[in-house]
A and B are shown apart, each in its own frame.
Chain A
Amino acid sequence: MENKNTDLKIKNLRKAFGKNKVLNGIDFELVEGERVVILGPSGSGKSTFLRCINWMEEPTSGEIYFDGVLLTEKNIRKMRRNMGMVFQHFNLINNLTVMENLTLAPVKLKLMKRDTAEKRAKELLRHIGLPNKANAYPASLSGGQKQRIAIIRAMMLSPEVLLFDEPTSALDPESIGDVLELIRELADRGMTIMIVTHEMSFAKEIATRIVFLDKGKIIEEGTPDEFFNHPKTPRVKEFLKKVL
C-alpha cells in the first residue's frame, strides 16, 4: 500500500445491552479509500458495530481511534462530522424541507455560510436529478428519493468515512438501483466506505474487503474473491450457501 492514512482503528470493542453481549471483542482497521462490506446473519451485531463507531451506541469497553484520536463522550460530537451515517429508514428530518435538511448541519456547525451551503446543496440535488425538490418536505418524496437525499446530506459535511446500514433494505426494487448507483459513484471517487448490505452482487462489486460478523466477532475477512470463492470457515460456507 502507498502512503495512506488509517482512518479508523478499533481495539477489542465490546458492547452489551444489559446481559445481552452483542459485540464480543472486535479488532478492526480501516484505511483511507477502503470499502468494507460487513456481512453476517441477522442479530450478529452488524448494526451495533456501525453504531458504536460513531457512538450512536456507547461502547461497553474497548477503544476506537478515528484519525488517531481516541473517541470519548467529550469529543464524539466534534468527531461525528467526519463520519457520515446513512440509515436504513433514511431519517430525513420531517419538519424541515429538503434544503433545510441539507444545510442545517453545515450552517449550525459553522462549517459553511448559509449561501455557500445552499449553493452546494443545489449542486448536489442537481447531481442526483432532484433539483426541483429543494423546497419539498420529506413526506412528499419516494423512498429512493429520500435515501439519495440522505446520502448527499451526509456528503454536505465532506466526511472522511461514510457508514451505511442497510441503505436499500427499505426500498422497492426500482429505487434500489438508483441508490446503489449513487453509492457506486461515491466509491469511484475514492470515498472511504463501510456498508452493511444484503445485496450480495453489489457487495462483490464494490468491496475492497469483506468482513464477516458472527455472534459479535469478526470470524473471517478478506477480498471479495477470497471471501466468496474460497471461504475458509464452515460458518461462512454455510452462510454463502444460503444467500447465493
Chain B
Amino acid sequence: MGGFFDKVVELFSTPEYIDSLLHGFWLTIQISYFAILIGILLGTIIALIDTAKPSKWLVIPKFICRIYTTIIRGTPMALQLFIMFFIIFAIKGFPSIITAIIAFGLNSAAYTAEVIRGGILSVDIGQTEAGMALGLSRRTIFFKIVAPQAIKNIIPALGNEIITVIKETAIVSMVGMYDLNMAAKDIGSGQNMASYIVPMFVAALFYLVTIYLITFIVKQVEKSLRKSDLRAEE
C-alpha cells in the first residue's frame, strides 16, 4: 500500500500530470456541456413536433422525428461516433472537438426528446382542456399550463441524461481525443508513471465529483419546482 501512496504523491507533485488531468477534464466538460446544450435544444424541438396536434403540415416532420429517434436509440453510441469521425466529418483539419460535440449532441437529442415527450404527455389532458374551455390560445396553454407541469416530470430524467452524456464522452479517447479518460491512460503509461491504478482512480474521482454536483443541483431544482404540490397554508 506504500507504493500506492507514493504514486499518489508522485501524481500530485508532478505539475505536468496535474496539467494533463485538468486538460483532459476540461475537454470532457466542453464536449459534455455543448452536447447537452444541443441535446436539449434539438430534443425540445423534436418533442414539440412529436406531441403537436396532428396536421397535414406536420406529417413529414413527425415522420422524420420518429425515424431519427429510432435510429439513434437503436445503434451504439461508439458506432455513431466512429461514423461521424471517419465518414461524415472525415475532412482534413476539421476540429475533432466539434465533431465529438455534434456526435454526442445528436445522440443526446434523441434521448432528451423522449424525456421531454414523456414529460409533456404525463400532464393530465384535463389541464389543457381547462385552458381551452377558458378560450386561451394554444401558446398560453402550453407556456402557462402544460410546460410548467411537464418540467417537474422532465427534470429528474433530464438529470440522468446529463450524467449519461458526461460518462459516455469517455469513449472519445477511442478516436484519439485527449479527454479525462485519455489523460489518465496517458499519465499511467510506460513513459510516465508506469502504473495505471492511481491516475485511473483520480480520473474516476473527477467524474464522480462532477456527477455528484450535478445530482445535487438537479435535486435542488426539483425541490423548488415542487412548491405547488405542497399543501399551502391558509
Contacts and interface: CB of A to CB of B under 8 A. Distances in A.
Interface residues of A, number: 33
Q: Which of B148, B228, B234 has the most chain A CB atoms closer than 10 A to its own CB?
A: B228
A80 B234 contact: no
Interface on chain B toward A: helix, strand, loop, or mixed SS?
helix
Given A93-B145, A94-B127, A77 B135 contact: yes
A78 B137 CA distance: 9
Contact of A93 (B131, B135, B232): B131
A97 interface: yes
Given A108-B140, A133-B234, A140-B231, A91 B132 contact: no
Interface string B193-234: 000000000000000000000000000000000011111101
Contact of B134 (A94, A104, A133, A140): A104
A95 B228 contact: yes
Given A132-B234, A133-B234, A139-B231, A153 B134 contact: yes
Contacts, number: 84
Q: How large is the interface on B (under 10, 10 to 19, 20 to 34, 35 or more residues)?
A: 20 to 34
Q: Which of A89, A138, A140 has the most chain B CB atoms closer than 10 A to its own CB?
A: A140
A54 interface: yes
Given A139-B230, A140-B231, A87 B136 contact: no
B228 A94 contact: yes
A116 to B, nearest CB: 17
Given A80-B132, A109-B135, 9 more contacts: A54-B133, A80-B135, A91-B126, A92-B130, A93-B144, A94-B228, A95-B145, A108-B140, A140-B230
16 contacts: A54-B132, A77-B135, A85-B133, A87-B126, A91-B127, A92-B130, A93-B144, A94-B124, A94-B228, A95-B228, A105-B136, A132-B234, A137-B231, A138-B228, A139-B228, A157-B134
